[in-house]
Chains A and B, each alone.
Chain A
């Protein structure tokens, strides 16, 4: 177990190192000068040069890479070119929107997918199964931003049950905060729930065909008991993979949804920063997202081991 974790940890660190080089390189070739952008059309060359020096844009690329990575290691993500505030501060603020949103959506999608998948698996081939599977096919096919548009149209503009967007902040209480995240979370969660429900169903069906399920039935467990006691934990293994992937997707892939609901989250920050050529913010946020994805996958790997004793003992 320890060895397994350590090995995964080393590959995690390596991945992060390569990722940092890739991100830095890609972003450095991006056209567009942050200083020009900040000063606009009427800026004079000497003003621009002054600003560039102030932002440290005149240092060599290598120097800037080293500074960037070194800074990140000590928790200092640098200072945003455009906002002139510490990037770590900005990220921390946005994180309080994106992370709860991702968790909320993940919870929703799990809450929808698990019962749906189990229900469908239990009624394989029957009308209930066909209905659930039909719905999930549809769920996968619906682009989430379109779905978000429809949600806004119906629930915010016509019915006025929810705010159309924006984030009320956690200061006004948990409830208001959750309320502003509800529509976005639904928009994000439903397509993911559709995928998860399908995975859940097929994982369960696979398990139902396993020999040990027959053994369990021969012991006198009813179909349902066998499913819960022996099916679930085994089915969880493929399902965990998907949940891991989905979490990263939800965290990083909510750019569009944050845009539709004008939530001040990480995704929107990246988008804004890219258009403002706020390179340091882009670099740091992308790096952070990659870090999150890699870490989540690492955790999923560890969760595997918790679920599956075969992995645990594999030295």
Chain B
């Protein structure tokens, strides 16, 4: 196991642990306002200080991790459950109209400026975690479709696939039995990368107010709330910023480490 993998694993599990623990315990209620105690710097009582409503930042960061992880997980899930079958289908029917339609559809989605569309979606259907998930998820579909198709196409050229065809197996069966397991590593690695991009996207959407709505804490919104206060209470912006950086960094290191560990030859896309 490489250094990347270990460091990535540590950082990611730290964040995951914080999110899980927050279900049963946080130092304070993340929603409890205490306006007289607002804007305190980190101290023994409040490890990360308090925000402009006197809420405990540490508790908010913990619960915020939950939000980030939930949004990113579901968004990546959407991308995978729809993108992978599409990619497999396109590869199995390479060159057919179906392949063409799927790939052109992918290009289409790619061609839309993602943030603008996310804003449109939330503007049309209202701001909120669900719509943020959908907006992020939609843009995950072509990523997975494309990468699955690419990897599957080269697998289809391999002789063991020919052997399976000689054994009378159909495209669907071959895709499930031979292609999918062999692209799994790639998907895990890409999934990690998309997960980290999902965290960033959620933060961005929340920052412009289109992510999870209050009182659900979200790192992006904490940053937005902190914006006007950085000059006199920098911890409000630094702490959620670091939380995002640590999480994304952890996931990226994990992704790179996993790639090297599982299969150094695979390529991931990052855009």
Contacts and interface: CB of A to CB of B under 8 A. Distances in A.
Interface of A: 11, 14-15, 18-19, 22, 26-27, 29-31, 137-138, 140-143, 145-146, 149-150, 153, 157, 195, 198-199, 242, 245-246, 248-249, 251-253, 255-256, 259, 267, 270-271, 274-275, 282, 286, 289-290, 293-294, 297
Q: Taking chain B's interface residues, is the majority helix, strand, or loop, or is none over half, making it mixed?
A: helix
A290 B111 contact: yes
Nearest to A147: B241
Contacts of B215: none
B119 A274 contact: yes
B184 interface: no
Interface in B217-271: 220, 223, 227, 230-231, 234, 237, 241, 244-249, 252-253, 256, 270-271
A274 B120 contact: yes
Interface of B: 104, 107-108, 110-117, 119-121, 123-124, 196, 200, 203-204, 207-208, 220, 223, 227, 230-231, 234, 237, 241, 244-249, 252-253, 256, 270-271
A31 B124 contact: yes
A182 to B, nearest CB: 20
Contacts of B110: 293, 297
Contacts of A18: 108
Instruction: Across the A-B interface, give the 10 residue pairs with the lowest CB-CB distance, nearest first.
Output: A252-B113, A141-B248, A141-B249, A30-B124, A146-B241, A245-B271, A141-B245, A293-B111, A289-B113, A294-B111
Contacts of A150: 237, 241
A199 B245 CA distance: 20
12 contacts: A27-B120, A143-B204, A143-B223, A143-B245, A252-B116, A256-B204, A271-B119, A274-B119, A286-B113, A286-B117, A293-B110, A297-B111
Contacts of A145: 204, 207, 223
B120 A286 contact: yes
Contacts of A256: 115, 204, 207-208
B245 A138 contact: yes
Nearest to B203: A143
A160 to B, nearest CB: 13
Contacts of B115: 252-253, 255-256
Given A137-B253, A141-B196, A274-B120, A293 B104 contact: no
B112 A19 contact: yes
B208 A259 contact: yes
B124 A282 contact: no
Nearest to B270: A195
Contacts of A27: 120, 124
Contacts of A294: 111
Contacts of A11: 104, 107
A98 B227 CA distance: 23
Contacts of B207: 143, 145, 256
Given A26-B124, A30-B120, A256-B208, A143 B200 contact: yes
A275 B122 CA distance: 11
B248 A140 contact: yes
A149 B252 CA distance: 23
A31 B127 CA distance: 13
Given A141-B244, A149-B223, A149-B230, 17 more contacts: A15-B108, A15-B111, A140-B252, A141-B196, A141-B246, A142-B241, A142-B245, A146-B223, A149-B227, A153-B230, A153-B231, A252-B114, A255-B116, A256-B115, A267-B116, A286-B120, A297-B107
